[in-house]
Amino acid sequence: MNCDRCSQVFGGRGLSALMAVLLASHTPAQVRVDMSEIFTVDAIYDNRVINQDSGGFFDMSNAFNFTVGGTPAGLPVDGMLNSVSGLGTYQLGSYAGLNCLQVDSFSGYVSIDLPNAIYPQIGLLTSSSNGNAFMDAIVYYTDGTTDFYFQGVSAPDWFNHSTGTPEVITGMTRCTLVGNTRWRIENQTNPAIFEAILNTNPFKTVDRIEVGNGFFTNVTGNFRTRAGVFAMNALRSDSAVVRVDLSSVFNTDAIWDAENMYDDTAGFFDPPNFHNFVAGGSAINVDGLPKNGRIRSTHPGLGSYQLGDYLDKNAVPYNPVLDPVIVIPVTAGNYRRLGFLTACANGSSVFNVEIVYSDNTSDFGTVAAPDWFNHGSGTPEPITAMDRAGWNGTQWVAEERNSPALFEPTLSPNRSKTVVEVRIPGVASGSGMPHIFALNGQPASDLNEDGCSNDTDLLIVLFAFGSNDPIADINGDGIVNDTDLLIVLFNFGLGC
């Protein structure tokens, strides 16, 4: 490939020098995935607190558990296990609580959420009881595509050292429950925890993964094979998308948290009728907003939105008396697209929006906030067909409605200018009560639609330099030139 501009920019050393610079500044980072909300059993016995840790089994059929401590040999006291595949250090769950996601032939798929980013590798700490397990995995990307890994997550029996799956720790003892009253340490040198690796698409942003099904040695009865997932790490190449922090302007709790129903009693989305959006959870069977507050955009370059804390203020309604102008600071940068999560109570409305640039100029537009039951507006609905909650004067009650939605209108700023602020100066039309729940930005120099302005985008511009390539022509002036290159360099790392 030829890159004349590479030679000009890097003093004649050309593409090889460019790649050296990019690689030096592009160090992957370890991400420890929080699994605390999906752990299902206490599979580790903490023999330092003998009288306090008495629940759960790793091998449920034979009442065995992993154990902790240096003498006899067990898992490390701090719960830290070094990867043998270059994925940093894993952190095990609390030894005194749930610390293992247990999966068997009846479990189906279990979803594990990750912060949206590009992960060339994902590692899982695994082991099985009563046989071997090789679970399937599905990696979901923010562009709506998936990768399927048939029996791709190896979880050998904790005494099996012959599968070739890397062992992050081995040669441990185990313990057994005697008479359902006390644990007894067994003199063993076999139990191990293994490390399964998924090699994912290095050019796509991961949203979540699912594990389950696959092959289990024993599939029926009490002595069936049960696989355990103890921790997950990911090697992050790039994160994705600019999420604008709205916490300073949130002023109402418009979402009822059904997971913590007795702690969430404040606020209304629809005050006159005492209604709220509802977030689903294990405490009550309801179709609502996801527990982690993440909603995937309908535009790949906008990644996933992050809703506010369900137990706190999580929406900003426009109120001409209290807030005649809502001012939202934005991470300074050139943007291709701004995406909003909106909804309206008691009718539909349209916001006025002012996009403020660093040169003190502005562009004006409008953003739709359809009624939360209105599916005929044409505004994209990233989440819909939900239930809602109603306040009966004493408590919240989930109402099965299968209709409420959040909507995603977008605006396109001037890509040649640096956005510093978004203002909501009023309502253009409609008589409802419009709300904003989240705001994301896609960098103007994000040319491959992964939400991040990085080395991939820089290379696209350099290799298209001097052409009229509409993708690399960021400012739309008909030619890919120094102006486009400077936009990439100025925004390098935005959304990453």
Query: 322-333: string of b/e by CB count within 10 Å (b at 16+)?
Result: eeeebebebeeb
The SS3 of residue 383 is: strand
Contacts of 38 (CB under 8 A, 6+ apart): 101, 110, 111, 112
The SS3 of residue 340 is: strand
Q: Can you tell me the distance from the alpha carbon of 335 to that of 3, in angstroms, rounded to the nearest whole number?
A: 26
Instruction: Specify the pTM.
Output: 0.60
Q: Can you tell me the distance from the alpha carbon of 105 to that of 361, in angstroms, rounded to the nearest whole number?
A: 61
Q: Can you tell me the distance from the alpha carbon of 376 to that of 410, in angstroms, rounded to the nearest whole number?
A: 17
For 282: left if phi > 0, alpha if psi spans -120 to 50, otherwise beta; the answer is alpha
C-alpha to C-alpha distances, 488 to 299, 458, 484, nearest whole angstrom: 21, 6, 6
The domain defined by 29-238 folds into Jelly Rolls (2.60.120)
pLDDT string in tens for the chain (496-residue length): 445 555 555 554 444 555 444 444 444 567 889 899 899 999 998 877 666 666 678 988 888 999 887 555 789 988 999 999 888 889 999 988 899 999 999 989 999 988 887 888 999 999 999 999 999 999 999 888 999 999 999 999 999 999 889 999 999 989 888 776 678 888 788 999 999 999 998 768 888 999 999 999 999 888 999 999 999 999 776 445 688 989 999 999 999 988 777 777 778 899 989 999 998 755 566 788 988 788 888 887 888 888 999 999 999 998 877 778 999 999 999 999 999 999 999 999 999 999 999 999 999 999 999 999 999 999 999 999 999 999 988 888 888 888 999 999 999 999 999 999 999 999 999 989 999 999 999 999 999 887 888 888 999 999 999 999 999 999 999 999 999 999 999 999 888 7
Cβ–Cβ < 8 Å for 135, 148: no
From-to residues of CATH 2.60.120 in the chain: 29-238
Q: Can you tell me the distance from the alpha carbon of 305 to that of 308, in angstroms, rounded to the nearest whole number?
A: 10
Give me the pLDDT at residue 8, please. Answer: 55
**CA angle centred on 37, ends 35 and 38, rounded to 5°:** 70
Contacts of 482 (CB under 8 A, 6+ apart): none
Q: Can you tell me the distance from the alpha carbon of 433 to that of 269, in angstroms, rounded to the nearest whole number?
A: 9
Cβ–Cβ < 8 Å for 270, 433: yes
Q: Can you tell me the distance from the alpha carbon of 153 to that of 149, in angstroms, rounded to the nearest whole number?
A: 8
Q: Can you tell me the distance from the alpha carbon of 365 to that of 382, in angstroms, rounded to the nearest whole number?
A: 21
For residue 45, which of 34, 35, 36, 58 has the smallest C-alpha distance?
Answer: 58
Contacts of 421 (CB under 8 A, 6+ apart): 327, 328, 329, 330, 355, 356
